[in-house]
Protein backbone atom coordinates (compact mmCIF):
# COMPACT_ATOMS: atom_id res chain seq x y z
CA UNK A 1 0.00 0.00 0.00
CA UNK A 2 1.44 3.35 -1.03
CA UNK A 3 0.19 6.90 -0.39
CA UNK A 4 1.93 10.03 -1.62
CA UNK A 5 0.82 13.64 -1.14
CA UNK A 6 -2.73 12.76 -0.08
CA UNK A 7 -5.03 15.76 0.35
CA UNK A 8 -8.70 16.24 1.18
CA UNK A 9 -10.81 19.35 1.83
CA UNK A 10 -14.28 19.83 3.24
CA UNK A 11 -15.16 23.31 2.11
CA UNK A 12 -12.58 25.60 3.70
CA UNK A 13 -11.32 22.90 6.04
CA UNK A 14 -8.11 21.11 4.99
CA UNK A 15 -8.68 17.74 6.63
CA UNK A 16 -5.69 15.98 5.04
CA UNK A 17 -2.58 17.97 4.07
CA UNK A 18 -0.11 15.92 2.08
CA UNK A 19 0.08 12.59 3.88
CA UNK A 20 2.65 9.97 2.79
CA UNK A 21 2.35 6.32 3.91
CA UNK A 22 3.97 3.04 2.91
CA UNK A 23 2.44 -0.10 4.44
CA UNK A 24 4.12 -3.42 3.78
CA UNK A 25 2.42 -6.79 3.11
CA UNK A 26 1.81 -8.75 6.31
CA UNK A 27 2.44 -5.71 8.49
CA UNK A 28 0.27 -4.55 11.39
CA UNK A 29 0.22 -0.79 10.91
CA UNK A 30 -1.48 1.50 13.43
CA UNK A 31 -2.72 5.00 12.67
CA UNK A 32 -3.14 7.22 15.72
CA UNK A 33 -4.41 10.74 16.12
CA UNK A 34 -6.85 12.89 18.07
CA UNK A 35 -10.42 13.34 16.90
CA UNK A 36 -10.51 15.59 13.85
CA UNK A 37 -6.87 14.93 12.97
CA UNK A 38 -7.67 13.46 9.54
CA UNK A 39 -7.00 9.79 10.29
CA UNK A 40 -10.58 8.62 9.62
CA UNK A 41 -10.69 10.51 6.33
CA UNK A 42 -7.35 8.98 5.33
CA UNK A 43 -8.49 5.44 6.12
CA UNK A 44 -11.83 5.94 4.33
CA UNK A 45 -9.92 7.02 1.21
CA UNK A 46 -7.78 3.88 1.42
CA UNK A 47 -10.93 1.77 1.76
CA UNK A 48 -12.52 3.36 -1.30
CA UNK A 49 -15.34 4.97 0.70
CA UNK A 50 -14.25 8.57 0.15
CA UNK A 51 -12.68 10.36 -2.81
CA UNK A 52 -9.50 12.36 -2.40
CA UNK A 53 -8.77 15.79 -3.78
CA UNK A 54 -5.12 15.16 -4.58
CA UNK A 55 -2.21 12.79 -4.30
CA UNK A 56 -1.48 9.22 -5.36
CA UNK A 57 -2.92 6.13 -3.65
CA UNK A 58 -2.36 2.47 -4.48
CA UNK A 59 -3.97 -0.32 -2.44
CA UNK A 60 -3.29 -3.86 -3.67
CA UNK A 61 -2.14 -2.30 -6.94
CA UNK A 62 -5.46 -0.48 -7.48
CA UNK A 63 -6.50 3.14 -7.10
CA UNK A 64 -9.28 2.99 -4.47
CA UNK A 65 -10.86 5.98 -6.18
CA UNK A 66 -11.71 3.58 -9.04
CA UNK A 67 -12.63 0.40 -7.15
CA UNK A 68 -13.75 -2.83 -8.78
CA UNK A 69 -15.87 -5.59 -7.29
CA UNK A 70 -12.92 -7.97 -7.37
CA UNK A 71 -10.74 -5.42 -5.55
CA UNK A 72 -13.36 -4.92 -2.83
CA UNK A 73 -13.53 -8.69 -2.29
CA UNK A 74 -9.85 -8.61 -1.31
CA UNK A 75 -10.49 -6.18 1.55
CA UNK A 76 -11.92 -6.75 5.00
CA UNK A 77 -13.36 -3.78 6.86
CA UNK A 78 -14.49 -3.52 10.47
CA UNK A 79 -16.12 -0.12 10.86
CA UNK A 80 -16.37 1.74 14.16
CA UNK A 81 -20.16 1.44 13.97
CA UNK A 82 -22.03 -1.10 11.90
CA UNK A 83 -25.67 -2.03 11.29
CA UNK A 84 -26.75 -5.63 11.49
CA UNK A 85 -29.60 -7.97 10.63
CA UNK A 86 -30.94 -8.11 14.19
CA UNK A 87 -33.45 -10.89 13.56
CA UNK A 88 -30.92 -13.30 12.05
CA UNK A 89 -28.87 -15.63 14.20
CA UNK A 90 -25.16 -15.07 14.48
CA UNK A 91 -24.42 -18.09 12.27
CA UNK A 92 -27.00 -16.99 9.66
CA UNK A 93 -25.47 -13.51 9.54
CA UNK A 94 -21.94 -14.77 8.98
CA UNK A 95 -23.05 -17.35 6.40
CA UNK A 96 -25.02 -14.66 4.55
CA UNK A 97 -21.96 -12.41 4.25
CA UNK A 98 -19.74 -15.36 3.34
CA UNK A 99 -21.79 -15.76 0.14
CA UNK A 100 -20.50 -12.39 -1.11
CA UNK A 101 -16.89 -13.64 -1.38
CA UNK A 102 -15.29 -15.98 -3.93
CA UNK A 103 -13.34 -17.99 -1.34
CA UNK A 104 -14.78 -17.42 2.14
CA UNK A 105 -13.55 -19.01 5.33
CA UNK A 106 -15.66 -21.56 7.15
CA UNK A 107 -18.28 -19.58 9.16
CA UNK A 108 -18.13 -21.87 12.19
CA UNK A 109 -14.33 -21.61 12.24
CA UNK A 110 -14.56 -17.82 12.17
CA UNK A 111 -17.14 -17.77 14.97
CA UNK A 112 -14.82 -19.88 17.10
CA UNK A 113 -11.93 -17.51 16.41
CA UNK A 114 -13.87 -14.44 17.57
CA UNK A 115 -15.27 -16.22 20.62
CA UNK A 116 -18.87 -16.59 19.42
CA UNK A 117 -19.14 -20.37 18.93
CA UNK A 118 -21.43 -20.58 21.95
CA UNK A 119 -23.67 -17.82 20.55
CA UNK A 120 -23.94 -19.13 16.98
CA UNK A 121 -27.67 -19.90 17.34
CA UNK A 122 -28.55 -16.65 19.15
CA UNK A 123 -30.30 -13.80 17.40
CA UNK A 124 -28.02 -10.83 16.89
CA UNK A 125 -30.44 -8.49 18.67
CA UNK A 126 -30.03 -10.48 21.88
CA UNK A 127 -26.25 -10.05 22.00
CA UNK A 128 -24.39 -7.65 24.26
CA UNK A 129 -22.55 -4.69 22.76
CA UNK A 130 -19.22 -6.50 22.98
CA UNK A 131 -20.66 -9.62 21.37
CA UNK A 132 -22.11 -7.59 18.51
CA UNK A 133 -18.66 -6.10 18.03
CA UNK A 134 -17.29 -9.61 17.65
CA UNK A 135 -19.87 -10.24 14.92
CA UNK A 136 -18.47 -7.17 13.12
CA UNK A 137 -14.98 -8.66 13.34
CA UNK A 138 -16.24 -12.02 12.06
CA UNK A 139 -17.78 -10.30 9.02
CA UNK A 140 -14.51 -8.46 8.43
CA UNK A 141 -12.43 -11.63 8.18
CA UNK A 142 -14.90 -14.08 6.60
CA UNK A 143 -13.71 -13.30 3.05
CA UNK A 144 -9.99 -14.09 3.67
CA UNK A 145 -8.97 -10.44 3.15
CA UNK A 146 -5.50 -9.56 1.95
CA UNK A 147 -5.85 -6.24 3.77
CA UNK A 148 -7.97 -5.87 6.90
CA UNK A 149 -9.00 -2.42 8.14
CA UNK A 150 -9.87 -2.37 11.84
CA UNK A 151 -11.48 0.77 13.27
CA UNK A 152 -11.65 0.60 17.09
CA UNK A 153 -12.13 -3.19 16.83
CA UNK A 154 -12.14 -4.07 20.55
CA UNK A 155 -14.58 -1.45 21.82
CA UNK A 156 -16.80 -3.21 24.34
CA UNK A 157 -14.55 -6.26 24.67
CA UNK A 158 -13.75 -7.57 28.13
CA UNK A 159 -10.02 -8.12 28.90
CA UNK A 160 -10.11 -11.83 28.03
CA UNK A 161 -11.86 -11.16 24.72
CA UNK A 162 -9.36 -8.42 23.88
CA UNK A 163 -6.41 -10.78 24.42
CA UNK A 164 -8.11 -13.44 22.30
CA UNK A 165 -8.67 -10.87 19.56
CA UNK A 166 -5.03 -9.78 19.71
CA UNK A 167 -4.02 -13.41 19.19
CA UNK A 168 -6.31 -13.53 16.15
CA UNK A 169 -4.72 -10.39 14.66
CA UNK A 170 -1.23 -11.83 15.16
CA UNK A 171 -2.34 -15.07 13.50
CA UNK A 172 -3.80 -13.22 10.50
CA UNK A 173 -0.64 -11.13 10.13
CA UNK A 174 1.45 -14.29 10.41
CA UNK A 175 -0.50 -15.72 7.49
CA UNK A 176 0.32 -12.65 5.39
CA UNK A 177 -2.73 -10.44 5.97
CA UNK A 178 -1.92 -6.73 6.11
CA UNK A 179 -3.66 -5.06 9.05
CA UNK A 180 -4.43 -1.34 9.23
CA UNK A 181 -5.51 -0.51 12.78
CA UNK A 182 -7.02 2.65 14.24
CA UNK A 183 -7.60 2.62 17.98
CA UNK A 184 -7.48 4.81 21.08
CA UNK A 185 -6.12 1.91 23.15
CA UNK A 186 -2.38 2.51 23.16
CA UNK A 187 -1.70 -0.79 24.92
CA UNK A 188 -3.32 -2.42 21.88
CA UNK A 189 -0.93 -0.58 19.59
CA UNK A 190 2.00 -1.59 21.77
CA UNK A 191 0.91 -5.24 21.69
CA UNK A 192 0.11 -5.51 17.97
CA UNK A 193 1.68 -2.86 15.75
CA UNK A 194 4.89 -3.29 13.78
CA UNK A 195 4.84 0.41 12.94
CA UNK A 196 2.79 3.44 13.91
CA UNK A 197 1.91 6.74 12.26
CA UNK A 198 0.70 9.65 14.36
CA UNK A 199 -1.51 12.07 12.44
CA UNK A 200 -2.30 15.55 13.74
CA UNK A 201 -3.87 18.48 11.89
CA UNK A 202 -3.93 16.47 8.67
CA UNK A 203 -0.23 15.59 8.65
CA UNK A 204 1.97 12.70 9.74
CA UNK A 205 3.97 14.08 12.68
CA UNK A 206 5.84 10.84 13.49
CA UNK A 207 6.23 7.31 12.17
CA UNK A 208 8.10 4.25 13.37
CA UNK A 209 7.95 1.13 15.57
CA UNK A 210 6.14 1.70 18.89
CA UNK A 211 9.36 1.21 20.85
CA UNK A 212 11.23 3.97 19.04
CA UNK A 213 8.41 6.32 17.99
CA UNK A 214 9.27 9.96 18.46
CA UNK A 215 12.69 9.18 19.93
CA UNK A 216 11.17 7.03 22.66
CA UNK A 217 14.09 4.58 22.79
CA UNK A 218 16.56 7.40 23.44
CA UNK A 219 14.36 9.32 25.87
CA UNK A 220 15.49 9.85 29.43
CA UNK A 221 14.50 7.29 32.05
CA UNK A 222 13.39 8.45 35.50
CA UNK A 223 14.87 6.58 38.47
CA UNK A 224 13.46 7.14 41.94
CA UNK A 225 14.74 5.79 45.26
CA UNK A 226 14.75 6.64 48.95
CA UNK A 227 17.91 7.89 50.68
CA UNK A 228 18.36 9.46 54.12
CA UNK A 229 14.61 9.22 54.59
CA UNK A 230 13.78 11.32 51.55
CA UNK A 231 12.82 10.45 47.97
CA UNK A 232 15.44 11.11 45.30
CA UNK A 233 14.86 11.29 41.54
CA UNK A 234 17.32 11.21 38.64
CA UNK A 235 16.68 11.43 34.90
CA UNK A 236 19.26 9.47 32.95
CA UNK A 237 19.97 8.10 29.51
CA UNK A 238 21.87 5.16 31.03
CA UNK A 239 19.51 3.61 33.61
CA UNK A 240 21.35 0.29 33.90
CA UNK A 241 24.58 1.98 34.92
CA UNK A 242 22.73 4.19 37.41
CA UNK A 243 21.00 1.24 39.07
CA UNK A 244 24.31 -0.66 39.32
CA UNK A 245 25.95 2.35 40.97
CA UNK A 246 23.06 2.72 43.43
CA UNK A 247 23.16 -0.99 44.26
CA UNK A 248 26.88 -0.67 45.03
CA UNK A 249 26.23 2.38 47.19
CA UNK A 250 23.54 0.62 49.23
CA UNK A 251 25.32 -2.73 49.26
CA UNK A 252 22.48 -4.54 47.53
CA UNK A 253 18.78 -3.68 47.74
CA UNK A 254 17.92 -0.08 46.75
CA UNK A 255 15.19 1.37 49.01
CA UNK A 256 12.03 2.44 47.16
CA UNK A 257 13.51 1.87 43.72
CA UNK A 258 11.35 2.58 40.67
CA UNK A 259 12.52 2.81 37.07
CA UNK A 260 10.11 4.58 34.73
CA UNK A 261 10.61 4.68 30.99
CA UNK A 262 8.46 6.93 28.76
CA UNK A 263 5.30 5.10 27.76
CA UNK A 264 3.79 5.15 24.28
CA UNK A 265 1.06 7.37 25.72
CA UNK A 266 3.66 9.85 26.99
CA UNK A 267 5.25 10.03 23.54
CA UNK A 268 1.91 10.26 21.74
CA UNK A 269 0.69 13.14 23.91
CA UNK A 270 3.97 14.98 23.40
CA UNK A 271 3.77 14.56 19.63
CA UNK A 272 0.25 15.95 19.29
CA UNK A 273 0.66 18.70 21.89
CA UNK A 274 0.59 22.12 20.35
CA UNK A 275 -0.24 20.89 16.83
CA UNK A 276 -2.99 23.15 15.53
CA UNK A 277 -4.77 23.84 12.27
CA UNK A 278 -3.34 26.69 10.24
- Residue 84 — pLDDT band, cuts 50, 70, 90? low
- The average pLDDT across 108-136 equals 90
* The pLDDT value given to residue 108: 95
- The average pLDDT across 118-130 equals 90
Interval 20-45: pLDDT, tens: 999 999 999 999 999 889 999 999 99
Interval 6-15: pLDDT, tens: 999 999 999 9
- Would you say residue 200 has pLDDT above 90? yes
* The pLDDT value given to residue 107: 96
- Would you say residue 278 has pLDDT above 60? no
DSSP state of 219: S
- Would you say residue 123 has pLDDT above 90? yes
* The pLDDT value given to residue 262: 87
- Would you say residue 267 has pLDDT above 60? yes
Sorted by sequence, the CB contacts under 8 Å of residue 124 that are 6+ apart come out as: 84, 85, 86, 87, 88, 89, 90, 93, 132, 135
24 or 128, greater pLDDT? 24
Contact in structure between 223 and 209 (CB atoms under 8 Å): no
Q: Where are the domains of the chain?
A: 220-261
Contact in structure between 131 and 116 (CB atoms under 8 Å): yes
Amino acid sequence: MRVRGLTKRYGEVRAVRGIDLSIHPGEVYAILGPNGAGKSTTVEILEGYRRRDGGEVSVLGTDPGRPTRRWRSRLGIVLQTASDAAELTVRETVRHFAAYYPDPRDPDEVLAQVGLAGKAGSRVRRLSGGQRRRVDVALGIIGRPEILFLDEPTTGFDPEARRRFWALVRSLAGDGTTIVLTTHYLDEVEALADRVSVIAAGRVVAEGPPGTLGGRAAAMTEITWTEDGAPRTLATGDPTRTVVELAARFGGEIPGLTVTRPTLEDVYLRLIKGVRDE
